[in-house]
Structure 1
Amino acid sequence: MKFIKIKNYFRIKIMKILFIINYNKKFNYFKYLNNNFNYLNKVINKILIKINKKKLNKNNIINSINKYINNLNEIFLLQYEDKKFIKYILFLKIKYNILINIFDNFSFIIKIINYINKNNKLLIDIINNYLVNWSITRINIIDLIVIKIAISEFIIYYKDININIIINEYKLIILIFSSKNNINFINGILNNILKSKNILSLYDKTKN
């Protein structure tokens, strides 16, 4: 359960990049990601150095982390979810001695974005096939992007993931960025698509 927050952070990063690409096809997301990840690493390491110089009270980790983050000038250049992510990474490091290398997730993000860019028509067709008395044009852009990401992640990584878990994790993202009224609608679409036998045939094509 610890790592759901981390995985969802990178899914949200994908979502925001795809939202930008929707309006700016020339957006260099590879360069953006590389710069963003380098900057996150810089901030995390800088705070760790400060924290390691002092003995922390393990029962007061969150307050200590917040103190160092709030006193760091670089933090003001980061977005809200970046700040939350940094706090969580630092918490895992101090509390459990787990430090996540964010560049390990670089390929995860690139694979999904590239898949969506190359197979957008296929994804639209898949979604359309599972809409009942509803037009895909009526789905707002954020919800549509979330559905595309979920389908793409499942197609690429289906041997390594659990359908019910991945649907529940995407429901958390919908709660943050969309309307609560849309959860059942999107949950229904994802359930029908990801549990369809036809969707599994697309996995082998990603390996070609």
Structure 2
Amino acid sequence: MANCLQHKTFIVQQLYIIVLLGLFNCQKPVPKPTILDNCLSIEQVNLLTKMIRSFEDDLSKYYHFSKNEPEKTIKKYLNEIKTPMKNDSLILEIASPKSKELLQKSFTILSDDVWTTYQEEYGNMQDNIYILEEGDTLEAIIKDEQEALKRYKNKHLVRTNGKLVDCFYSKTSDESSKELFRLLMDSGAISPDIIINGILSLKTKISNSKEIEAYIALDLFYSPLDFNLK
């Protein structure tokens, strides 16, 4: 009788251990820390991670480069979008349906922490300072700005004074990258050509700076993609 009880006790203990192991194995793995931790919400970080990955996948597929060659792929993309006439059509060709879908989601989930609108950025034209070149007239410049505002007012730009860029600035350990983010924070809207040239002249590899890589995806891919989507 005693042996029987001992046997039953042993079986119960074994079952208990199996159940515990099963519960332990079912637990989700702890996510790896990212550059955006403590800057944005978990939902925002997850979406941004998906957006960056989709951007990289789109480039690799379009250029037929290996995913193990991010430096080569991103630099080729940056050099190509420096040509304004090619910029619009190129981005539309590269962007996958998945990237377009993630972009639309981001306007709600990321909102003011990452994005601002063209209206918000350029709507106060009375604050503008104009430098007229030969052949320019103030009236013509203002007319062009009004037409652009009407056309693009609801399109999205990266908010350079928002949480995201501030996070990139505080997180990066590379001094040249830090200078670039400081310039963006201080100057606001800067010509894409200047940003691209600044990125290409960085001492560090783009693929070694997750902050720069993320900024490229948002400001030089997703934002112009929004401007080109109807």
**TM-score for both structures, normalised by structure 2:** 0.24
* Higher gyration radius (CA): 2
**TM-score for both structures, normalised by structure 1:** 0.26
